[in-house]
């Protein structure tokens, strides 16, 4: 089973939920945590895994052999991303940072003047924290293209035993890196907080998981801060509230230093056990 | 005209709350001028929730065109499936179909199809708005659900904000940035005059700030830092200050945790309410943000 943790709004507690749910389950189950927030991966700060391997994530970018180029301009015409610019006869500029690696220019060049070579845009690393297996992606700083790194994280664990419970920590927002993280998962936990920002961004995230056709429920973090608008929304939309985690400065302090809630606060462990039960009841 | 970007790496550190307060303080600092506001978090835009904008114009945003199959012309030869690198084309019930969510609009299938059964069609990928607020014009946007090209939409928002600022001879644009370091952040940060990184005293806050700082440096953007809720963990706050000192980054503000910030937000307003003359009644966070504003301006103007 694959569970994704997403949010719309950033900083609502996705990583906290992913890590503590994993720690709770690891006592009896095989658990894998995949950090798909490849722009700002944080799970490793809390799980403190020992990394055992890594691999580069690349996309294929065009290399032009100008001797073979006849200056026809087809490559520039084909490229939807403005990543290749033919400048008259035999001279072609490429902009690797704009390239999506679609292969169009290479495939359609009539003289076979374009070859591809890999451009590194990030990496994935894998290892273990106790019995929990962990994998995360890291987008290179300055590289704009997160989805291929997200996909590399997800592909790495393809074919693993169906008995493993995989927990995906998704990035904030609702656009392509989030869609890449959440799509294909069996259930999505949307983490939010009871503030107007939390409510607004939750509604965007609800639209997104609806578009993807994924079952979902809500975890309310920092309950007690803010107001009741979020609860009214969930009730009106018939959205299940899977768990509530109360706001307390001692939890904030524990998080600040990379601590693990369920180990420091027994009352929290019960919340995560109940959360898992609530997920199992609803997941396909 | 200067462009200030409020940004964070990690989400939820307080960017939008600070931008809202800055909008209000800018009105005090420059009562006779127009300050332009832009929400560059097009993915989960929130600034409009506290600025109560009146929308003046709504504009369609077209991302890249997406591939559409004419099933009458398609003979299901499978050539398009072979060339699509985004796994966007699959066969359902013996008919080749393109998944619009996975399609990146690269046009390779369109060019390769032997039956010319694929066309590239415009898709409205979101909307952008120009609004009036009590503190100046606001340019904001809403990317469509599960859409791509958030970076292009950010570019559109910034272009419009700059145009308004030029027309009104405005001295300052305040941009609310998105989380992360990827495509929409790169579109937000390139070419701004100052990036104010809002971080928090957590190990994730530091980690994400360091990556964002490296990005800003790569784009040659001057950076200052503000530590929000600094008193939640003094030790981690000290570590942030240590990093900033080692990298010659000015820490322009330290804002204490203050429940009043959430209370004012819940009331649908700014953390510094308009017209409040009694600074003590505003609470410690608001006072810290006033100082933050002054120091940020000194770096900018």
Cβ atoms < 10 Å from Cβ of B140? 27
State the nearest Cα–Cα gap between B85 and chain A, in angstroms.
6
pLDDT attached to residue B282: 85
Domain with CATH 3.30.70.20 in chain B: 66-122
| A225/A193 same-domain check | yes
Are the CB atoms for B153 and B188 separated by under 8 Å? no
With an 8 Å Cβ cutoff, are B148 and A101 in contact? no
User: pLDDT tens, A107-126?
Assistant: 999 999 999 999 999 999 99
3-class DSSP state of B61? strand
Which residue range is the domain that position A92 belongs to? 66-112
Domain with CATH 3.40.50.300 in chain B: 2-61+127-300
Instruction: Give φ, ψ of B80 to 5 degrees.
Output: -65, -40
pLDDT attached to residue B186: 97
- The Cα–Cα gap between A7 and B260 comes to 24
* DSSP secondary structure string for all residues of A217-262: EEEEEEETBS-SHHHHHHHHTT--EEEEEE--HHHHHHHHTT--HH
| A220/A266 same-domain check | yes
| A144/A192 same-domain check | yes
| A48/A76 same-domain check | no
Among A144, A210, A226, beta carbon nearest to B262: A226
Beta bridge partners of B67: B120
Q: Kindly indicate whether the domain formed by B66-122 is annotated with CATH number 3.30.1280.10.
A: no
Q: Is the pLDDT of residue A180 over 70?
A: yes
Are the CB atoms for A12 and A205 separated by under 8 Å? no
Counted residue by residue, chain A has a size of: 284
Beta bridge partners of B91: B96
- The Cα–Cα gap between A83 and A76 comes to 8
State the nearest Cα–Cα gap between B168 and chain A, in angstroms.
31
Is A49 inside any structural domain? Answer: yes
Are the CB atoms for A94 and A55 separated by under 8 Å? no
pLDDT attached to residue A161: 85
With an 8 Å Cβ cutoff, are A139 and B232 in contact? no
| A154/A229 same-domain check | yes
pLDDT attached to residue B281: 78
Cβ atoms < 10 Å from Cβ of A246? 14
Among B10, B232, B257, beta carbon nearest to A11: B10
The answer, for A172 touching chain B at a CB cutoff of 8 Å, is yes
Closest by CA to B117, choosing from B93, B96, B103, is B96
Among all residues of chain A, which has the CA nearest to that of B144? Answer: A175
The answer, for A143 touching chain B at a CB cutoff of 8 Å, is yes
Beta bridge partners of A86: A92
How many domains does one find in chain A?
A: 2
Among A11, A78, A108, beta carbon nearest to B12: A11
- The Cα–Cα gap between A43 and A35 comes to 6
State the nearest Cα–Cα gap between A282 and chain B, in angstroms.
23
Please state the ipTM of this predicted complex. Answer: 0.94
Is A117 inside any structural domain? Answer: no
Q: Domain holding A157: CATH number?
A: 3.40.50.300
Class of the B2-61+127-300 domain? alpha beta
Give the percent of chain A with pLDDT over 70: 100
Using DSSP bridges, classify how beta strands B89-92 and B223-228 pair: parallel, antiparallel or unpaired: unpaired
Where helices occur in chain B by DSSP H, the ranges are 15-29, 47-51, 79-83, 108-112, 150-167, 183-189, 203-218, 234-246, 259-266, 279-282, 284-300
At what angle are helices A229-236 and A196-212 packed, to 10 degrees? 20
Structure-token match 């360091």, residue found: B210
pLDDT attached to residue A124: 98
With an 8 Å Cβ cutoff, are B101 and A183 in contact? yes
Beta bridge partners of B130: B57, B139
Are the CB atoms for A215 and A280 separated by under 8 Å? no
- B-facing residues of A in 81-100 (CB < 8 A) are 81, 100
Which residues of chain B neighbour A109 with C-beta distances below 8 Å? none
- Plot region of A150 (φ>0 → left; ψ -120 to 50 → alpha; else → beta): alpha
| A192/A275 same-domain check | yes
User: pLDDT tens, A184-241?
Assistant: 999 999 999 999 999 999 999 999 999 999 999 999 999 998 888 999 999 999 999 9
Among all residues of chain B, which has the CA nearest to that of A82? Answer: B106
Cβ atoms < 10 Å from Cβ of B170? 20
Task: Enumerate residues 6+ apart whose C-beta is below 8 A from B105.
Answer: A80, B63, B64, B65, B66, B67, B120, B148
* Per-residue model confidence as pLDDT tens for chain B (301 residues): 999 999 999 999 999 999 999 999 999 999 999 999 999 999 999 999 999 999 999 999 999 999 999 999 999 999 999 999 999 999 999 999 999 999 999 999 999 999 999 999 999 999 999 999 999 999 999 999 888 879 999 999 999 999 999 999 999 999 999 999 999 999 999 999 999 999 999 999 999 999 999 999 999 999 999 999 999 999 999 999 999 999 999 999 999 999 999 888 888 789 987 776 677 778 999 999 999 999 999 999 8
Last residue of a domain, one of A112, A147, A182: A112
With an 8 Å Cβ cutoff, are A172 and B183 in contact? no
For A189, which DSSP code? E
pLDDT attached to residue B265: 87
């Amino acid at each position: 089973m694959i569970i994704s943790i997403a949010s719309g709004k950033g900083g609502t507690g996705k990583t906290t939920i992913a890590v503590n749910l994993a720690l709770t389950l690891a006592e009896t189950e095989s658990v894998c945590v995949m950090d798909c927030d490849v722009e700002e991966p944080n799970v490793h700060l809390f799980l403190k895994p020992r990394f055992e391997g890594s691999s580069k994530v690349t996309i294929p970018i065009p290399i032009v052999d100008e001797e073979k180029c006849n200056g026809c301009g087809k490559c520039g015409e084909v490229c939807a991303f403005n990543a290749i610019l033919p400048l008259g006869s035999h001279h072609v500029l490429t902009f690797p940072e704009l390239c999506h690696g679609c292969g169009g220019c290479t495939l359609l060049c009539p003289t076979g003047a374009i070859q591809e070579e890999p451009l590194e845009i990030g990496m994935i690393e894998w290892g273990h924290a106790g019995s929990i297996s962990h994998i995360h992606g890291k987008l290179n700083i300055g590289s704009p293209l997160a989805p291929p790194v997200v996909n590399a994280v997800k592909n790495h664990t393809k074919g693993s035993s169906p008995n493993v419970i995989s927990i995906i920590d998704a990035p904030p927002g609702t656009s392509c890196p989030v869609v890449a993280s959440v799509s294909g998962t069996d259930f999505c936990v949307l983490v939010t907080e009871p503030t107007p920002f939390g409510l607004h961004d939750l509604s965007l995230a609800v639209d997104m998981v609806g578009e993807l056709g994924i079952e979902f429920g809500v975890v309310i973090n920092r309950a007690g801060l803010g107001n009741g608008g979020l609860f009214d929304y969930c009730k009106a939309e018939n959205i299940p509230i899977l768990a509530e985690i109360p706001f307390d400065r001692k939890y904030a302090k524990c998080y600040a230093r990379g601590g693990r809630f369920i180990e420091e606060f027994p009352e929290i462990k019960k919340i995560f056990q109940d959360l898992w039960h609530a997920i199992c009841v609803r997941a396909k | 005209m200067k462009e200030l970007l409020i940004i964070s790496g990690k989400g939820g550190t307080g960017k939008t709350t600070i931008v809202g307060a800055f909008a209000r303080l800018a009105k005090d600092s420059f009562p006779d001028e127009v300050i332009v506001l832009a929400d560059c978090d097009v993915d989960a835009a929130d600034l409009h929730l506290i600025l109560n904008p009146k929308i003046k114009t709504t504009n369609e945003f077209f991302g890249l065109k997406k591939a559409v199959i004419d099933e009458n012309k398609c003979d299901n030869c499978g050539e398009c499936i072979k060339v699509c690198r985004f796994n966007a084309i699959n066969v359902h019930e013996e008919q080749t179909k393109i998944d619009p969510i996975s399609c990146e609009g690269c046009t390779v299938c369109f060019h390769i199809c032997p039956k010319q059964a694929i066309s590239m069609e415009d898709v409205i990928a979101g909307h952008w708005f120009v609004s009036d607020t009590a503190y100046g014009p606001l340019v904001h946007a809403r990317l469509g659900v599960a859409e791509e090209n958030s970076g292009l939409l950010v570019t559109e928002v910034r272009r419009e904000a700059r145009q308004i600022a030029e027309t009104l001879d405005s001295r300052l644009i305040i941009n609310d940035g998105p989380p992360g370091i990827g495509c929409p952040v790169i579109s937000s940060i390139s070419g701004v005059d100052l990036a104010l990184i809002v971080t928090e005293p957590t190990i994730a806050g530091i980690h994400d700030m360091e990556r964002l700082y490296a990005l800003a440096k790569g784009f040659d953007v001057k950076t200052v830092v503000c530590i929000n809720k600094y008193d939640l963990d003094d030790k981690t706050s000290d570590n942030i200050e240590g990093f900033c000192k080692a990298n010659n980054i000015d820490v322009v503000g330290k804002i204490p945790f203050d429940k009043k910030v959430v209370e004012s937000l819940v009331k649908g307003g700014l953390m510094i309410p308009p017209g409040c003359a009694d600074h003590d009644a505003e609470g410690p966070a608001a006072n810290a943000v006033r100082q933050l504003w002054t120091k940020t301006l000194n770096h900018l103007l």
